Chain A
Amino acid sequence: MSAAPKRSSLPGFGLSMGLTLTWLSLLILIPLAGLFVKTADLSLSQFIDTVTSNRTLHALRISFGLAFAAALVNLVAGLIIVWALVRYRFPGRRLFDAIVDIPFALPTAVAGIALTTLFAQNGWLGAPLASLGIKVAFTPLGIFLAMVFIGIPFVVRTVQPVLIDLDVEIEEAAACLGASRWQTITRVIIPSLTPAILTGFALAFARAVGEYGSVIFIAGNLPNVSEIAPLLIVIRLSEFRYADATAIAVVMLVFSFLIIFVLNRLQRWAQTRALAVS
């Protein structure tokens, strides 16, 4: 027998690969390419005018800025949740573990109207907050909270398996060598978790930037105040200003890809560093 590559003895490569590439091209690649082709309808100066108009810039700032802040909150809250779920035993732990996935499974429109009703001025949480002078629904704060909601599962679910697999003996060794608990956590545990934390952060951030359904109900949608970029795309489409809508979409896509690219790099760097630590 010849020493052919072990994996090539199976049939079906042509069929499965052909099907995959055809389907991928028809459904994903060609439509996305159309987006960039359509932008060419605008001249460069028109493109720049569109994406640097006050309203567009503000919408982009709201979407990216609040998504970043929400992802940070998800990072901190996610670490606390994952630590409680993995390291401690408490009544209802398994239930809360399952609950973490709900923002991922609940349709966004349902989450949107539920959060809006919850945080409206006469809502279960909105009323007590309003008596403290904090208005949530129909303000940027509402957008932020909706983004926090949809980002909950990402950090928890990326960090959880890593924390479960983390060898407790390393912590014991650190403690035996005289490290305080705090030093063990910040010098030993956190560096090993960093790649997973960054992945979770990037996923939560990307999701929040593009989020539409759970945000538009609570946002208030005032131009230049509480209007997110995806909504501005929808508005431009309804005005039949397709090229403008497309220009905003292209800027969002390019920025999202850039940020994910940078975070991927960071993640790789953290991975090599974590390996060096352990």
Chain B
Amino acid sequence: MTITIINSPVTVERAQSVARQDLHTEPWLVRGIIIGVAVMFLTVFVVLPLILVFSEALSKGVGFYLSALADSEALSAIWLTLITAVISVSLNLVFGVAAAWAVAKFEFRGKTLLVTLIDLPFSVSPVISGLVFVLLFGAQGFFGPWLMAHGINILFAVPAIVLATTFVTFPFVARELIPLMQEQGSQEEEAAISLGASGWRTFVVVTLPNIKWGLLYGVLLCNARAMGEFGAVSVVSGHIRGETNTMPLLVEILYNEYQLVASFAIASLLALLALLTLIAKTILEGQIEEGQLPRDD
């Protein structure tokens, strides 16, 4: 009986797979420790802070939470954040597509330098990203006196907030699209052009459907950063209550005034935005992979 079992092909296969596994994995104790450390680390540093945001926000009940969000300062901060994000994301969307088209579809000297420069805002401190606009438009700045003489407000007003946010989110769309479009090549576009389609029509009918998921992915990340940006916006905003406070800035002000529940209530909206972004990102990653699969053939 036992002999027949050992000789059965299934068992042999299983024995082989066990032997095979032993060659490239660790003893169960080591495995347990590694999984344990990874899970502990992520729980302490990521899960707990996230839970804390919502538990603090709701610590005085749902009614208090909702009234904190319906406060006029909160509403104006939400409104300003939305406007800023819409403008910055649209600007960087146009730029990102143009940059990706130039980099992915053409060969030219200095391409590596251009890509490095596009990534530059990622390695600049947010505070410095805000500082450069203070130096341009502040009272002691290069254009400050001229702007003041003409009564134009840029610094400590919405334009500077939009500029700083656009600076910080500059690379997001371009860096998603460049590798995607490089991988896809230009045969389809060339075919469309040689069949007589105009450049614009080729872009809309051929390129856009190919890059739509990657584009959406970039826009999503860009938007999350635009709505959540703190350092750069904090430097240029002037913190005028009800006027130039975005949601992250209001979180800081309320927190420093010990209005903790109100502060965490606004923070919970931003945390929710981050969570939704991540969920959408996970779904989109699936879509992008699917979209790319036929191309591998």
Q: CA A189 – CA B118 in complex, angstroms?
A: 33
> Using an 8 Å CB-CB cutoff, how does the interface string of B83-125 with A read, 1 for contact, 0 for none?
0000000010011001101100111100000100110111111
Whether B26 and A212, one on each chain, are in contact in the complex, defined by CB atoms closer than 8 angstroms, is no
Chain A residues within an 8 Å CB radius of B107: 5, 7-8
Q: CA A171 – CA B26 in complex, angstroms?
A: 12
Highest count of chain B CB atoms <10 Å: which of A34, A107, A246: A107
**B-side interface mostly:** helix
Whether B267 and A114, one on each chain, are in contact in the complex, defined by CB atoms closer than 8 angstroms, is yes
Whether A31 and B98, one on each chain, are in contact in the complex, defined by CB atoms closer than 8 angstroms, is no
Q: CA A114 – CA B53 in complex, angstroms?
A: 6
Whether B101 and A88, one on each chain, are in contact in the complex, defined by CB atoms closer than 8 angstroms, is no
Q: CA A25 – CA B125 in complex, angstroms?
A: 19
> Using an 8 Å CB-CB cutoff, how does the interface string of A231-262 with B read, 1 for contact, 0 for none?
10110010010100110010011001100100
Closest to B121 in A: A28
Q: CA A96 – CA B251 in complex, angstroms?
A: 27
Q: CA A111 – CA B275 in complex, angstroms?
A: 13
Whether B125 and A210, one on each chain, are in contact in the complex, defined by CB atoms closer than 8 angstroms, is yes
Q: How large is the interface on B (under 10, 10 to 19, 20 to 34, 35 or more residues)?
A: 35 or more
8 Å CB interface, B151-176 against A: 163, 166-167, 170
**A-side interface mostly:** helix
Would you call A110 an interface residue if the criterion is a C-beta within 8 Å of the partner chain's C-beta atoms? Answer: yes
Q: CA A256 – CA B274 in complex, angstroms?
A: 28
Whether A17 and B102, one on each chain, are in contact in the complex, defined by CB atoms closer than 8 angstroms, is yes
Chain A residues within an 8 Å CB radius of B106: 7-8, 10, 13, 17
Indicate whether A107 sits within 8 Å of B38 (C-beta atoms), given known contacts A99-B46, A168-B24: no
Tell me how far the C-beta of B278 lies from the nearest C-beta in chain A, rounded to whole angstroms.
5
Tell me how far the C-beta of A23 lies from the nearest C-beta in chain B, rounded to whole angstroms.
5
8 Å CB interface, B140-196 against A: 140-142, 163, 166-167, 170, 186, 189-190, 193-194
Would you call A20 an interface residue if the criterion is a C-beta within 8 Å of the partner chain's C-beta atoms? Answer: yes
Q: CA A13 – CA B111 in complex, angstroms?
A: 13
Would you call A98 an interface residue if the criterion is a C-beta within 8 Å of the partner chain's C-beta atoms? Answer: yes
Whether A113 and B263, one on each chain, are in contact in the complex, defined by CB atoms closer than 8 angstroms, is yes
Would you call B18 an interface residue if the criterion is a C-beta within 8 Å of the partner chain's C-beta atoms? Answer: no
The 8 Å CB contact of A234, one of B46, B127, B133, B163, is B127
Tell me how far the C-beta of B13 lies from the nearest C-beta in chain A, rounded to whole angstroms.
17
Q: CA A83 – CA B25 in complex, angstroms?
A: 11
> Using an 8 Å CB-CB cutoff, how does the interface string of A1-27 with B read, 1 for contact, 0 for none?
000011111111101110110011001
The 8 Å CB contact of B248, one of A35, A80, A108, A124, is A108
Chain A residues within an 8 Å CB radius of B98: 15-16, 19-20, 23
Q: CA A210 – CA B91 in complex, angstroms?
A: 25
Whether B190 and A9, one on each chain, are in contact in the complex, defined by CB atoms closer than 8 angstroms, is yes
Not counting A23-B98, A92-B39, A112-B230, a sample of 7 additional A-B residue pairs whose C-beta atoms are within 8 angstroms of each other reads A7-B105, A28-B117, A88-B35, A90-B39, A111-B49, A152-B42, A237-B131
